């Protein structure tokens, strides 16, 4: 019974989360995403590892949420925008695949080679971003972020539909 409930949770979570993504004001979405990015990439920002994204735009699309955000690096912080005049690189995929990647349950290269996550546009910029994500040490994240990522990824890895 519990296994069926967990499998259902993993399967239905993107649909459930698509509602806030659709109805939540963009200003609130961007605030939450920017705070999460600031916490997650604090060391990389401090070390100048994101300077390559200055004046460039990443379009991040979570297809099963039917949501996209445009991310750039400006004034020493990652900024989330509703739109961008130009997009240098796009990352797209389903929520559970992003969760698996960020929670270290799946290798990013595997997800990209299997076309579960896609990079389009400036391939060199995309690879720099992918490598930055790959090198992100989740042990450096606050415990609550690390715990949420690892537990979510373990749940998805164990109970995702085949």
Q: pLDDT by residue (tens digit) across 94-142?
A: 999 999 998 989 988 899 899 999 999 998 999 899 888 888 888 878 8
Contact present, 155 and 10 (Cβ < 8 Å): yes
Backbone Cα Rg of the chain: 16
Short-list 114, 133, 112, CA closest to 53: 133
Domain total in the chain: 1
Please enumerate in sequence order all residues whose Cβ is within 8 A of that of 87, keeping only pairs 6 or more positions apart, or say none: 57, 58, 59, 70, 121
Domain around 126: 2-159
Which residue is it, tokens 């606050």?
Answer: 142
Residue 67 pairs in a beta bridge with: 62
Short-list 123, 2, 21, CA closest to 67: 21
Query: Which stretch of DSSP H or E encloses residue 152?
Result: helix 143-159
Short-list 135, 95, 128, CA closest to 111: 95
Please enumerate in sequence order all residues whose Cβ is within 8 A of that of 4, keeping only pairs 6 or more positions apart, or say none: none
What CATH code is carried by the domain that includes residue 81? Answer: 3.30.1050.10
Q: pLDDT by residue (tens digit) across 35-92?
A: 989 988 998 999 999 999 999 999 999 999 999 999 999 999 999 999 999 999 999 9
């Amino acid at each position: 019974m519990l296994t069926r409930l967990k499998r259902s949770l993993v399967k239905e979570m993107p649909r459930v989360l698509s509602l806030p993504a659709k109805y939540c004001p963009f200003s609130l979405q961007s605030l939450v995403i920017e705070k999460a990015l600031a916490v997650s990439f604090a060391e990389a920002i401090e070390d100048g590892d994101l300077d390559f994204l200055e004046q460039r735009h990443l379009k991040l699309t979570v297809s099963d949420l039917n949501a996209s955000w445009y991310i750039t690096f400006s004034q020493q912080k990652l900024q989330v925008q509703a739109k961008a005049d130009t997009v240098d690189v796009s990352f797209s995929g389903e929520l559970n695949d992003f969760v698996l990647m960020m929670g270290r349950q799946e290798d990013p290269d595997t997800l990209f080679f299997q076309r579960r996550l896609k990079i389009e546009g400036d391939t060199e910029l995309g690879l720099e971003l992918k490598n930055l994500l790959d090198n992100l040490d989740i042990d450096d994240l606050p415990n609550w972020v690390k715990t949420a990522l690892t537990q979510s990824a373990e749940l998805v890895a164990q109970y995702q539909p085949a």
